[in-house]
Structure 1
């Protein structure tokens, strides 16, 4: 509770008013008032409380986790969480036990005495005593309400802190993951851990205490029932207890046909242990499938330019509520039946006393206890998944190294600042180093590496694709574990990765990347990296946002900014992994001379390159092959020793020839900024802000959701609900006249109504199961198809984290939470309707007050809903950046660690979590405040009605009084719960609304064929552009204007031009990635009139950034399994990868890691070439495909294209 008192400016200074504000949520009143007047935004959120600050919680849990790992051989995250949060958790449990016992004892006792008072001719209870009992009743339910909601708030706040702490711990662990671990832990799994698994903590612990409170309540309740009706109580209690495993059986039923639901009514005697075990299994399977779904979506989003999860167990969970009422009524019936058959006389006092007790026991036994067990099982699965992730291997720099010399650790921290007392000059020494990614691998990745580099030397590392060049850099960065040998590093490191890594921020932030800003150095770095001209033409200069992964920049710009970040850092050793391959010869020459040779002349530089013209000026040249250093020395030494560079790499070695030959580049000409005039490609410089709707959820959202469930099922469900309502009203009226109707007759009537209730409940459960399963599946499939068919601009303007949020969090809510909430709303609407009908029949004068109560409740709901709906939307928006941040961090992990920027990124993640926590805290606080005040209004109504009934007691029958009081007390909890669930439904329907937003995405045009396209089309490969115009959106100028040219079959066309001239835009037009005007004639057919999938399937492309998907090699080469193994092996042989793939344990079925990370960039490019060979289309596009390969592989690709695609039309983008 002390946490809430720290909300500065919300509570008054005096102690009592502060406590009043705490228990009655007075601090929410200004928020309600503000939200009613305007839409809430992130600016209206509370500042993060110190108690749920992500940085504090993450650091504390990390410290406890480290100690846990040190104390136990098998560290358990459960113990760490228990140590951190257990004390407060159990205090909350004791408070909850007190409230439950109060309800179980005071309320039934008071109702029984009041009913006796209203019996005809009774003289044992006076009017004053009746007022006392009435006061006790009201006081009991008031104390429970005033304690319950602050307690639930405290519980939810505690669960939120656990989630935040675990989320921060997961991210901190991510910063330490080894490359081997990253092959196991996909981005999809990490996002799923943050979005779905940790959300279990928010939901799972709320009811956890009922796992032990339930048995205590049942024991006390059974004893109270025994005091009232003797052994007859055992009939009803036994029946209730027999339904405890029902929830687990329902979960099991989601894997089978609906008719098994009927069998469950008979077969509900499973052990409780089986419930927990089965729930855990299903939860784990669901989590794993969700990992797969999120991973797949992440890959689709990442590779779009170049599955459905197991669901239903949570839907079934909500169906249990459909059985609650009939189970409770049957239990009451069995108890009364047993009492009567044992020869006893039933009185109204007995009937309504045991009814009140059963009303307390009913949710505990049939719902809360079983759900608490399953929730604990689900939380256990989630915690175990997090624990498994925390056990993954870390980079060697985080652990004790294997290589030592003279007993001293020579692995100095690569991120430590240079210490003058240890060295005067930077030094790098590797002695007989052998390294491999996995301990179990037979072959080493690097073998017997010996290097000794000191002072201001320039070491050039070269060699063919897969030789181990990048692996050598990874050893120095301590990303690749050393198996044997020693490494000594003196000095700090800076690193420019082979694949440029940029995060979603400004250009300036990407360059200084947490380093202290030095304007003089910054300007010099911009100059030597040839960025000044770009900055001058960027819409916001160096303040321009680069977009996720730099998607708003060209490839060359990304490479130069990546290099600028490396050299801006003041370091002793600079690791440059092929930074010159992404720029043309002139820019490359400038970067080499001005940046590497001049600006860094006093530093140690290790340059990986394939460009031989730069080797002559290197101090040391290392030529690698098969993971070993083949030769080492300076240029003259190697020449004199007989090394023939041109023969070794099949390329020219002089600078002049290097400039004349076709350069290898991966620059993306489809720049997103206007760099050089009206002919340039143009794209919006800023990412689109995520939309946030306001106001009520549109009726069309509900209509679309219900239509997704199937129209017939919806109609049948409504008819069944009407029958259910009529049956409940009849049963309750029968119960109120238990003492005035013949005993045999009442047994027949009540038995018939109970049986009818069972039948209706089963039918309703089947309808619900069908409805929710179909609705969830249709919405998922619909949004998936819409995203896959979306236009390219959508991916350029939306971060992947934002899209993944829809597929993880929003689809998760539709799968798991909306069904149970909607069921609650429907059931409570039936209960409310039945209560109103009963009240109008029994005591018509109370109907006016009940309708007034409804009007007051609805007014409260409108005020609350304006707040909760806005906050829920803000909460959903603040969640997306967490996923984007995680995705970007994993992609740039090596760079982050090389720059010692882990703390910076962790702080950013913690800040994002704090922002989300502020929204979540406001959401749960508004919910609890609303619930408390609804309860208080309902208590006031009950007090008024009960005291009024005492005043007119002479004209009212005792059974009617018992019916009214029990109905309204039951309504007290149910009505406020129903109102909150109704409001919660609005909040949760924002997930449906957000999903439906994507169904409105502008899709690529669907074209119908008037005449079938010949199977062999295109047979020749003739391409003709006629007045082609292209622009990225209707609001932007054309980037291609009246483009006209003709390409004859088999011609090899080079597309050249300055940065931004429209080279890649021409290829985009060929593939029709954006809306175009004009015609593109291919072999006599206008491709702009043909279906897009037909056109694109007939054109092969080898992109500048190779795209591989996780799965098997076979799936990457032949996704649709159209070709035989012989064809696949032949293609691999042609790109000289056959031997390498054949040596892998599973051959074509060998695993390809996420993004192809277990292959070098050059090898990925060759796999893409093999894929193009297999498809054997007549038109091939090379989008600067030789950027990341050595001259030999470049020559291989060119020769392969020259020979294998001799009969094809080839478009090649080049500088």
Structure 2
């Protein structure tokens, strides 16, 4: 799990490999043992064949070996062709499934549902393997089953002479030899399949293990003097990528160090270097003692609040309570349904940005580390909480006052409190030693009146550490997968298309019954032949047998190809579109409460099993049923008495199947009640928080937890498989016993009446009775595959049908005019909103009006409901009461697409998707390249479109798509609009992502712009540039600015002050400052009142 930072795009691949590749590992390992254990039987079979047929038996061996070589070459060619097909795809949103699971809020904010639905569906179509390759692959698979009979027939034919004559006993020996040859060559032919599984197993292991790496910084035992020491160190993300050069740094134990610099200068990279995530190219780098780390984007697990803090450590009540109080989380816990045992959703979805940051801080503090590293810790909290964290954690008598603290920050008023300042400018480092100073001549405890601090943080309250049942957040338990029913299968057939299914079954029928007549013809060739004519008759029979087998092989390949094209591929596209559409158009609160690991498994493994494996097994079962009926008819023609042997077999099959269904139901119930389904969730959590886990040295704990969950899931899967295998083995034993009885009957009949029951009759009776019994047994084995696929099919329909849908995206009856909204006037009337019906409202009876083209700042404490206004305006959550009007139009009456596509948002957590800059700014390609360049120039982000290998030139004409794959399969970063964006935008800092989000808004030029903490992760100089751009470019637009930095909103026309979801004040800044109200106290706490009066 030691994956380097910058490789986040591999996370989704690892999840897919762990889900869809688990069966490959299982089959590969089982086949590895199978090859070893079957070696003895294969050598013994070879000895029997050579002893009876001589060295002519080498012929089938040679044929089998040639087949293995051809099959291996075909697999290599098919893999190369798939890679070429993948490379031909446009470099746009390659991780579609993962984007849906992780960034649904962003997709809905920008009304990009249709974009992702189209891209994923288009990707499925373009990934379809070419028909000729399919035909070749199916041919090789069919040869695997028919090659044995062809080889055996040729070997025996080579031993026959025209004048040969032999008795019944010699005939029996020949048939027995042929059986041995068939067994032997089938064993050789199956080696290719087994080696293929083993090769895929090796590939899966290599893909997962290849993502591992060791820490690049040396960790040593803590000392009393030095905490961090770097001597002429150079760190780099790779060739032609960002580097930190000639870093000479020494930090003493107990020092407080600030890291400052402009957006994108490399602050987070030096943090990665300190944490051992950035490759060390040369020099020496050491850190003494353990590390506590809070990342810029806090990592939160889908677990209880307490588990997030403990991170697998033992619970110490005193230390835990001190940590909670120091991080100002006491009041937050009181509001949670089960205190600190409340469940936190995936990525902290039910927490505000400030709460997530403080929870991550609490986790780091509880680790009791030697060195603490905070990446932009204070950007997501308001002035009250910032003061509390500085005093109770960082300086003075804070919990970490005697620890080594390294703080990346844009908060300039905190810098004077530090011992050292590290200034970074695009990889160049300047270290400044300074004497601790107070901010604006004040001690830190004067930043806020103590009475306000006590009121804001409730420092003497006791946290709620209830041991009651967790306040559940995820809704996975509510979406129970019912037991399989025939109705589910009929729904699957309807989804597939009755015509497609009927075509596939018709080909199986024609294929089976066509060869029914051929089998009858072959039977007539030797039936009733005398001793003298037996050699020539047998030779004709074997030749026809070989020819028919070859025809059977090729026609079977064509039939499989048609079934795949008419059924498998089409139903996969339909199922993919259905589940993606269900997820994209599900209400956001419902989606956010769903298990993301289960969703990713659903979209990868379940869809593949239900769309390809299940139809394949169904076709096999239908074909085996037709074959069994044909064989039964042929057997009855030869000897009707064999029909009596089927009666006990059918009775056993019915009894065993009934018992299996009962036990299988018990296993399914146990699986639902266990933690088996947590395997995917834990894997996703481990991958998402790998940097934090590595830094805190907690990887082994969660790997053990993942192994335990995987073992539990594997145990349940094995129980289910074992039940099906026992059923099949019991039926196989019964078949073998009945076949022995038939052989004894044939022996006795031929001895008693050799004239009417000759060798031809014996051969046909043995062959067709054995074939009939084997076909019936094969039906049971096909049931095993069907049984494995049915839960996936049931789960698909549950999620596709029971998630519900949000309001219509297009409402033709109430479609607003084309120029709506022209003014951008917003009015809330008695508006209330709650994220969940059982919880209290986050917005309560809001009533206010914003004039068109007005600039409004929105402020308030963490959790006051500021970001919830965005949810309300874009109807991400439907109102509990009241209405929202935009230019006089009630937003609840129009389609969601019309609403969301007319509002621009620069979100608090900006997201970039894997692809080019062009694709991220304009995925629908509604604007020309010239318009995109104009927006880039206005946003002043041209420097972000350069790479070390190229420079930005705004006057140059766009050079189209210059993105190509290098030999290792990775996209090469281009320049300009072709600058490549890694998955989740990891090759851009959070501040840079916010600037690119602003560039989107400049390109779209919509009447309303919402800035949700858009300047939280950028320095003050860049903030001023952004504010100037907004004032100039959005002068005729309505702008809502949600901010913790009060200087960001001081130039607004009016300021809306929220507290506990209610409007406390709403007026101009000058008017609010003249009062003794909420806003005035906020400004006083940050000492902006003096700046304003000046």
Smaller-chain TM-score range?
A: 0.7 to 0.9
C-alpha change, 1:318 and 1:1049, in structure 2 (3 Å) is same
Give the corresponding residue for 1:1164: 993
- Cα deviation for residue 803 of structure 1 reads 1.0
CA distance in 2, matches of 1:1134, 1:866: 68
Which residue, out of 515, 518, 530, partners 2:316? 518
- Cα deviation for residue 375 of structure 1 reads 4.8
Give the corresponding residue for 2:213: 394
Give the corresponding residue for 2:804: 1002
Please give the residue correspondences for 1:223-262 in structure 2 after superposition, counting only pairs within 5 Å: 223=50, 226=53
CA distance in 2, matches of 1:1152, 1:362: 56
Please give the residue correspondences for 1:313-352 in structure 2 after superposition, counting only pairs within 5 Å: 342=162
C-alpha change, 1:382 and 1:739, in structure 2 (3 Å) is closer
Give the corresponding residue for 2:23: 199
Note if 1:1068 corresponds to 2:871: yes
Given that residues 822 and 887 in structure 2 are in contact (C-alpha distance below 8 angstroms), is that contact kept between their aligned partners in structure 1? yes
Q: Which moved more, 1:818-827 or 1:518-527?
A: 818-827
- Number of corresponding residues: 959
Given that residues 418 and 436 in structure 2 are in contact (C-alpha distance below 8 angstroms), is that contact kept between their aligned partners in structure 1? no
CA distance in 2, matches of 1:978, 1:245: 31
Which residue, out of 14, 25, 32, partners 1:190? 14
Given that residues 621 and 635 in structure 1 are in contact (C-alpha distance below 8 angstroms), is that contact kept between their aligned partners in structure 2? no
For 1:305, what is the secondary structure of its paired residue?
Answer: helix
Unaligned runs of 5+ in 1: 1-173, 249-269, 402-410, 640-644, 647-651, 661-674, 677-682
Give the corresponding residue for 2:1054: none
- Cα deviation for residue 529 of structure 1 reads 0.9
Given that residues 191 and 294 in structure 1 are in contact (C-alpha distance below 8 angstroms), is that contact kept between their aligned partners in structure 2? no
- Cα deviation for residue 1102 of structure 1 reads 0.8
- Cα deviation for residue 304 of structure 1 reads 1.0
- Cα deviation for residue 781 of structure 1 reads 2.6
Which residue, out of 671, 696, 708, partners 1:911? 708
C-alpha change, 1:1011 and 1:1039, in structure 2 (3 Å) is closer
Which residue, out of 604, 609, 623, partners 1:827? 623
Which residue, out of 603, 607, 623, partners 1:807? 603
CA distance in 2, matches of 1:331, 1:1082: 79
- Cα deviation for residue 317 of structure 1 reads 5.9
Give the corresponding residue for 1:854: 650
Give the corresponding residue for 1:784: 580
Give the corresponding residue for 1:686: 473
C-alpha change, 1:1187 and 1:867, in structure 2 (3 Å) is farther
Given that residues 426 and 572 in structure 1 are in contact (C-alpha distance below 8 angstroms), is that contact kept between their aligned partners in structure 2? no
Give the corresponding residue for 2:95: 295
C-alpha change, 1:282 and 1:928, in structure 2 (3 Å) is farther
- Cα deviation for residue 585 of structure 1 reads 0.5
Q: Which has the higher helix share?
A: 1
- Cα deviation for residue 1179 of structure 1 reads 1.2
Which residue, out of 906, 911, 921, partners 1:1107? 911
Given that residues 329 and 754 in structure 1 are in contact (C-alpha distance below 8 angstroms), is that contact kept between their aligned partners in structure 2? yes
Give the corresponding residue for 1:697: 484
CA distance in 2, matches of 1:1106, 1:298: 16
For 1:621, what is the secondary structure of its paired residue?
Answer: strand
Give the corresponding residue for 2:962: none
CA distance in 1, matches of 2:175, 2:274: 74
CA distance in 1, matches of 2:444, 2:584: 46
Give the corresponding residue for 2:1026: 1197
- Cα deviation for residue 999 of structure 1 reads 1.6
Note if 1:794 corresponds to 2:623: no
Which residue, out of 71, 77, 90, partners 1:278? 77
CA distance in 2, matches of 1:731, 1:333: 17
CA distance in 2, matches of 1:971, 1:1130: 75
Give the corresponding residue for 1:1180: 1009
For 1:1119, what is the secondary structure of its paired residue?
Answer: coil
Kindly provide the CA deviation profile for residues 101-160 of structure 1, in whole angstroms up to 9, marking residues without a partner as x.
xxxxxxxxxxxxxxxxxxxxxxxxxxxxxxxxxxxxxxxxxxxxxxxxxxxxxxxxxxxx
TM-score by length of structure 2 reads 0.78
Give the corresponding residue for 1:5: none
CA distance in 2, matches of 1:532, 1:509: 16
Q: Which moved more, 1:1178-1187 or 1:827-836?
A: 827-836
C-alpha change, 1:837 and 1:1110, in structure 2 (3 Å) is same
CA distance in 2, matches of 1:619, 1:833: 88
Kindly provide the CA deviation profile for residues 237-269 of structure 1, in whole angstroms up to 9, marking residues without a partner as x.
77x9879888x9xxxxxxxxxxxxxxxxxxxxx
Please give the residue correspondences for 1:403-802 in structure 2 after superposition, counting only pairs within 5 Å: 411-413=218-220, 416=221, 418=222, 423-438=223-238, 440-441=239-240, 444-445=243-244, 447-597=245-395, 598=397, 599-630=399-430, 632-634=432-434, 685-690=472-477, 697-740=484-527, 761=556, 764-770=559-565, 771-802=567-598
CA distance in 2, matches of 1:292, 1:353: 65
- Cα deviation for residue 945 of structure 1 reads 4.2
- Cα deviation for residue 1107 of structure 1 reads 0.5
CA distance in 1, matches of 2:442, 2:1009: 29
Kindly provide the CA deviation profile for residues 726-762 of structure 1, in whole angstroms up to 9, marking residues without a partner as x.
3444444444444456899997997998899678646
Give the corresponding residue for 2:1085: none
- Cα deviation for residue 498 of structure 1 reads 1.8
C-alpha change, 1:1204 and 1:358, in structure 2 (3 Å) is farther
Given that residues 394 and 401 in structure 2 are in contact (C-alpha distance below 8 angstroms), is that contact kept between their aligned partners in structure 1? yes
Q: Which moved more, 1:1015-1024 or 1:1183-1192?
A: 1015-1024
CA distance in 2, matches of 1:1086, 1:892: 42
Give the corresponding residue for 2:851: 1048
Give the corresponding residue for 2:779: 978
- Cα deviation for residue 574 of structure 1 reads 1.9
Unaligned runs of 5+ in 2: 107-119, 450-462, 465-469, 950-973, 1045-1094
C-alpha change, 1:315 and 1:1009, in structure 2 (3 Å) is farther
C-alpha change, 1:1080 and 1:692, in structure 2 (3 Å) is closer
Please give the residue correspondences for 1:828-847 in structure 2 after superposition, counting only pairs within 5 Å: 828-847=624-643
Q: Which moved more, 1:1205-1214 or 1:325-334?
A: 325-334
CA distance in 2, matches of 1:941, 1:431: 81
Kindly provide the CA deviation profile for residues 987-1046 of structure 1, in whole angstroms up to 9, marking residues without a partner as x.
212222222222213223333414765544333323344565544456666655665544
Given that residues 575 and 611 in structure 2 are in contact (C-alpha distance below 8 angstroms), is that contact kept between their aligned partners in structure 1? no
Give the corresponding residue for 2:191: 372
Q: Which moved more, 1:742-751 or 1:940-949?
A: 742-751
Give the corresponding residue for 2:935: 1131
